[in-house]
Amino acid sequence: MGNMSLVRTIGVLRPFVFKRPYSVSSDIDKSHSYKDIDQRLKYDEIRGKIRSLGSLSEEQANDLLTEYNLDQKKCVGFRNTLKEFLDEFLNKEEIKLNIGNSSIGTNVRNSNKFPFLNSSPPNKEYSSQELFVRQYHHSQRVNPLGASLTNVYKPHEDVLNPKKASELSIKTLMAAGVHLGHSTSLYRPSTQPFIYGEYKGLHIIDLEQTLVYLKRASKVVQGVAEKGGVILFLGTRAGQRRSLEEAASRVKGYFVTSRWIPGTLTNCTEISGTWQRHEVDLEDTPTGRNLEGDELSSLVKPDLIVVLNPVENRNALKEAMYARVPTIGIVDTDSEPSLVTYPVPGNDDSNRSTNLILGVLSKAGEVGRRRRLQKVQQYRNLV
């Protein structure tokens, strides 16, 4: 009886301990049945363990069976735990949504998000509504992918949300192309202090000089706006109108985007004599007082003119000199700095460059106007 039980025990253990992954045919040379020496040693070790099972006693075999059953119980418990976790995980709304959106075609045809969407037959092309839904679905899945860029220059913010002069850096000026001058053949000797060097036939503007002169011009704009002065922005090139409108709205000033009318400042009786005039207080609010006598015939002139392209507006600069109106201008390497009261060396041919400089100046004017309104409010509170 002992031998019979031992034989049965070994018969139960053998399939669990060793299962041959393949069988070697008798007509194949056994010298080539092993891949390498490591496999041969491994199979020899397994054969030795199988032979050692024949010398096991009944107690040792029972111990092996008990240990095997315990391991099986542990595996069953692990399977149950894993099944509960997967059921809980797959029942989440986010997982269901991702599973439902795994196919674009299925989402377009079967989604409940678009109940009024008419699906096209399989043999027809997608309708414009279906193409829109497919593109929307594709953008929702693809947009979050990829790398996120940080510290990127955004040119549109120079028009809508410009920086202050204190926040400006040489890196930002270079990104806007302020350093690019004209060809060396168009060089004016008076711009030599603003030139950093030459590269491939172009003059490179010294951005350190640009930063210094731009901060000085910003202080001038801020001071004029704080004192209640009238600021006029002048730019007659294509693509500058939007930035001029935004700049004038910040400082409650004026702008000119078309041709400068000759005699606007020097021939006021003919040009500005027909303009309607009204009086405003320090809060830019009309007083409603009727103007009489010399108040209607006096010269109307701005307190500061900001010129984006001085080369095309030499007449405006000359009239400002005759009328003693200070000017701020972007001076390129082909411009004449002596025509401008406060020159700002930079590229006047690029809208990106002019938008950056104009945005910084208008932001300074906005700060000055805000300070003026605060002072007026404080004065009224005291009174």
| CATH label of the domain that carries residue 215 | 3.40.50.10490
- 334 touches 314 (CB < 8 A): no
Give the residue ranges of DSSP H helices in the chain: 2-17, 37-53, 58-90, 93-100, 104-110, 128-142, 157-160, 170-175, 207-226, 241-251, 268-271, 294-297, 314-322, 351-382
- Please tell me whether residues 212 and 239 are part of one structural domain: yes
- Please tell me whether residues 261 and 368 are part of one structural domain: yes
Provide the percentage of residues in the chain whose pLDDT is more than 70: 73
User: Can you tell me the distance from the alpha carbon of 274 to that of 277, in angstroms, rounded to the nearest whole number?
Assistant: 9
- Give yes or no for residue 274 having a pLDDT over 50: yes
- 304 touches 232 (CB < 8 A): yes
Of 36-40, 200-204, 269-273, the one with minimum mean pLDDT is 36-40
Can you tell me the mean pLDDT for 185-208? Answer: 91
- Please tell me whether residues 28 and 108 are part of one structural domain: no
User: Can you tell me the distance from the alpha carbon of 51 to that of 237, in angstroms, rounded to the nearest whole number?
Assistant: 97
- Please tell me whether residues 82 and 121 are part of one structural domain: no
- 342 touches 220 (CB < 8 A): yes
User: Mind listing the pLDDT tens digit for each residue in 97-110?
Assistant: 554 444 444 444 44
DSSP assigned state of 303: S
- Please tell me whether residues 215 and 330 are part of one structural domain: yes
- 340 touches 331 (CB < 8 A): yes
- Please tell me whether residues 64 and 131 are part of one structural domain: no
Beta bridge partner(s), residue 328: 306, 342
Can you tell me the mean pLDDT for 207-212? Answer: 94
Q: Give the count of domains, the chain.
A: 3
Looking at per-residue confidence, does 87 or 54 come out higher?
Answer: 87
Distances (CA, A) of 353 to 150, 225, 233, 235: 22, 23, 16, 13
Q: Is residue 301 part of a domain?
A: yes
Can you tell me the mean pLDDT for 54-76? Answer: 66
- Give yes or no for residue 198 having a pLDDT over 70: yes
- Please tell me whether residues 378 and 324 are part of one structural domain: yes
- Please tell me whether residues 37 and 105 are part of one structural domain: no
- Please tell me whether residues 79 and 187 are part of one structural domain: no
* Dihedral of alpha carbons 86, 89, 93, 94, sign: negative
pLDDT at 212: 95
User: Mind listing the pLDDT tens digit for each residue in 24-53?
Assistant: 444 444 444 445 666 666 677 777 766 666
Give the tokens for residue 170.
């040489």
Look up the domain containing 26 and give its range: 2-89
Looking at per-residue confidence, does 233 or 3 come out higher?
Answer: 233
What are the phi and psi torsion angles at 342 (to 5°)?
Answer: -125, 90
Can you tell me the mean pLDDT for 225-241? Answer: 92
Give the tokens for residue 128.
């414009």
- 256 touches 367 (CB < 8 A): no
* Dihedral of alpha carbons 102, 104, 108, 110, sign: negative
Q: Is residue 337 part of a domain?
A: yes
> What H or E segment, with its residue span, contains residue 306?
strand 304-307
- Please tell me whether residues 136 and 253 are part of one structural domain: no
User: Can you tell me the distance from the alpha carbon of 240 to that of 159, in angstroms, rounded to the nearest whole number?
Assistant: 10
- Give yes or no for residue 124 having a pLDDT over 80: yes
Can you tell me the mean pLDDT for 321-331? Answer: 94
Q: For residue 242, count CB atoms less than 10 angstroms from its CB and return exposed for 0-12, middle for 13-18, buried for 19 or more.
A: middle
Beta bridge partner(s), residue 345: 331
Q: Is residue 75 part of a domain?
A: yes
Q: Is residue 282 part of a domain?
A: no
User: Mind listing the pLDDT tens digit for each residue in 287-300?
Assistant: 778 877 776 667 77
* Residues near 206 by beta carbon (within 8 Å), at least 6 away in sequence: 194, 195, 196, 345
Specify the pTM: 0.62
Q: Is residue 152 part of a domain?
A: no
- Please tell me whether residues 250 and 119 are part of one structural domain: no
CB atoms within 10 A of CB 279: 11
- Please tell me whether residues 247 and 352 are part of one structural domain: yes
Q: Is residue 280 part of a domain?
A: no
Q: Which residue type occupies 124? A: K
Domain termination residue (choose one: 89, 122, 154): 89
Q: Is residue 320 part of a domain?
A: yes
- Give yes or no for residue 326 having a pLDDT over 90: yes
Q: Is residue 118 part of a domain?
A: yes
* Residues near 207 by beta carbon (within 8 Å), at least 6 away in sequence: 170, 173, 174, 178, 179, 196
Confidence class for position 171, pLDDT limits 50, 70, 90? very high
